[in-house]
Amino acid sequence: MSSCDLGVEETAVALEPLLSDMWSDEHGLTSPSVYETARVVRLAPWLTGHAQRVRFLVDSQRPDGCWGGNDGYGLVPTLSATEALLSGVLCRRRSPCRPEESPYGPEVVRAADRGLRVLFSWLNTGKKVRLPDTVAVELVVPALVEEINVHLGRLDTQPSVGLDRWRGTARLAVPDGAHAQTLERLRAMVRGGHGLPDKLWHTLEIIGAPVRRAGFVRPVNGVVGCSPASTAAWLGEPPVGADDACLAYLREVQARHAGPVPVAAPVTLFERAWVLTALTTAGVVVSLPEASVAALHDAFGEFGAAVGPGLMPDADDTATALYALAQLGSPRSPDCLFEYRTGRHFSCFPAERTPSVSTNAHVLQAFGACLAPWSDKRSRYLAVMSDLTEWLVDCQESDGSWRDKWHASPYYATSCCVAALAGHGGVMVQSALREAMAWVLGTQRPDGSWGRWTGTYEETAYAMQILLRACGPARSDAVKRAVARGGLFLLRPGADREHPPLWHDKDLYTPIRIVRAEGLAALRLARGLLPGQLRQPRTPQQRVPDPRRDTAPRRDTAR
């Protein structure tokens, strides 16, 4: 099959391996994280793969001395990596390496020194540092600043070759927007024997020593908060002579990237729901075994579904999984989503700091997909959908795009909103769709790609989907030309292997299979518009029955 055929015949060459690999993988495929890897370096130097993790940190440092992305996205990974390298150099942390094989040589010292220079230039020169809206950034930043300042104090009495310039210097300043006092209150709660809300378990490492084997934490199959760093923080030193489930988890998760670790694992529900939604919404026929459909149902509890073990359910994963099941012909009641309703919109979690437009777009799709199976609740669902539609339109930026808390790129948020509004918004959203389409047409790059910082496969896929959904069947010549150029960018040799991290967690990451699925979806929607392709009829969506489901609509929310 040629590369140009891929857009219309998403079959054995790309689709089947993607789905088979996804269903056989119990962790999900995400990129390694600088932040999370550095925390494991700091907290578990005894863990297999320590030298490889240190090497990963050194190799990931940018030429300017920082780690991570632009526009404030470098702060958290640079703090984390610099602290971990300083800890290894100054504290001579125990590792499985023999002394003559210590990973903390001159190259590591230079990397730590360069990291300190960048951090002081950001935090101690009067510049306004922008904190990105990543997970718990207001707590993660002051925790890391505090730890680095402890190392700087140690340098005053413990000289280290290559770091002499930092003896007797000032300490790093905590930037505006960071909540150091809140962090200290949380630590005091744990020291006093109190627990923390479940949603904080994903960032348990910021609490420090008090969380080691804390009784309020309940690991799930050896995982704490769906996080290698949280698991390492809770575990502390490994149990001697015991096959601890947490230790087994850490060994397994680091082996997947030969040392480095992802920011969250396992993320199977998240990965499967997003991949299936991307493909089926684009008309790709997906045939799944009954056991795979049942596994999606089994992820639900009373309050919906969670991204992974040890995390509380959330509206985003719940809505996307509900929509995916409806697309597969095995719908379940969306009533559990009402637990997250906050006025006209839905929150991802209780006491949410900032709302998410992509989550609310997914909720709109979920209710829209359940109108027929639950026709007795049609009027209630339609009222919710009307509120969501108005709220999403009100959130549109003046340039026609949408921005979101779960992704660094506006193309992701805009794609989510356009898909939901075009499918379920009615005539009242036509102006918003035209504005989104105009924004996309006006931001295409000379090489045919789209992207916030540079053209990427992922953002180009979103932009193509925006154009093809916003314009409907009446496609202008401008849309056809833009989509054709974008499709050729996606079809470049090796293009589907180049995915810079854009998704929000504690730092940026890439859910690799989801990104590949979005590319397949864009090419499927663009069928007939790329050079060398023949227009083929859309195949009706295949429905996979769930033998456990009664013929009558379910009204319960727990399985």
Q: How far apart are the first and last CA of the chain?
A: 42
- CATH topology match: 3-26+265-525 vs 34-160+176-255: yes
Mean pLDDT split into 10-residue runs, the chain, 559 residues: 41 74 94 98 95 97 96 97 96 53 86 97 88 95 98 90 92 95 96 91 95 93 96 87 84 96 97 96 88 94 92 96 96 96 93 91 97 90 96 97 97 98 90 97 98 97 97 88 96 87 98 96 89 44 35 31
Note the pLDDT of residue 4: 40
9, two tokens: 């015949």
Residue 133's Cβ-side half-sphere holds a number of Cα atoms within 13 Å equal to 12
Among positive and negative, which fits the CA dihedral 354, 359, 361, 365? negative
- Annotated domain spans of the chain: 3-26+265-525, 34-160+176-255
Residue 220: count other Cβ atoms within 10 Å of its Cβ. 17
The structure tokens listed for 425 are 């918004």
Cα dihedral 230, 235, 236, 237 in deg (nearest 10): -140
At a CB cut-off of 8 Å and minimum separation 6, what does 63 contact? Answer: none
Residue recorded with tokens 């905590």: 174
Q: Under CATH, which architecture does the 34-160+176-255 domain have?
A: Alpha/alpha barrel (1.50)
Angle (CA) 369-470-346 rounded to 5° is 45
H or E segment and range at residue 227:
none
DSSP string for 429-456:
GHHHHHHHHHHHHHT--TTS-B-SSS-B
Say what the pLDDT of residue 147 is.
97
Choose among 25, 524, 30: nearest CA to 284: 524
Instruction: Please tell me the distance from the alpha carbon of residue 211 to that of residue 196, in angstroms, as a whole number.
Output: 10
Cα(407)–Cα(404) distance, integer angstroms: 6
User: What is the three-class DSSP state of 307?
Assistant: coil
Q: What is the SS3 assignment for 90-112?
A: HHCCCCCCCHHHCCCCHHHHHHH
At residue 428, the pLDDT reads: 84
Question: Whole-angstrom Cα distance, residue 93 to residue 88?
Answer: 5
Q: With the C-alpha atoms ordered 125, 130, 136, 138, is the resulting torsion angle positive or negative?
A: positive
Is 337 buried (19+), middle (13-18) or exposed (0-12) by CB count in 10 A? buried
CATH number given to 3-26+265-525: 1.50.10.20
Residues 6 or more apart whose CB falls under 8 angstroms from that of 157 comprise: none
Q: Which residues contact 457 (CB under 8 A, 6 or more apart)?
A: 489, 490, 495, 496, 498, 499, 515, 519
**Greatest CA separation for the chain:** 74
Interior/surface letters 283-294, b for 16+ CB within 10 angstroms, e for the rest? ebebebeeebbb
Query: Radius of gyration of the chain from Cα atoms?
Result: 24
Return d(Cα 416, Cα 437) in angstroms, integer: 13
Question: Can you give the pLDDT at residue 241?
Answer: 61
SS3 404: strand
User: What tokens appear for 361 in the block?
Assistant: 């777009």
Cis peptide before 96 (omega within 30 of 0): no
Query: What SS3 class is residue 219?
Result: coil
Q: Which of 33, 31, 122 is nearest to 84 (CA)?
A: 33
- The predicted structure's pLDDT at residue 308: 87
Neighbour count for residue 403 (Cβ, 10 Å): 17
Structure tokens that stand for 412 in this block: 């992701």
Q: Which residues contact 27 (CB under 8 A, 6 or more apart)?
A: 252, 253, 256, 265, 266, 267, 268
CB 290 within 8 A of CB 544: yes
Helix axis angle, 457-470 to 512-525, nearest 10°: 40
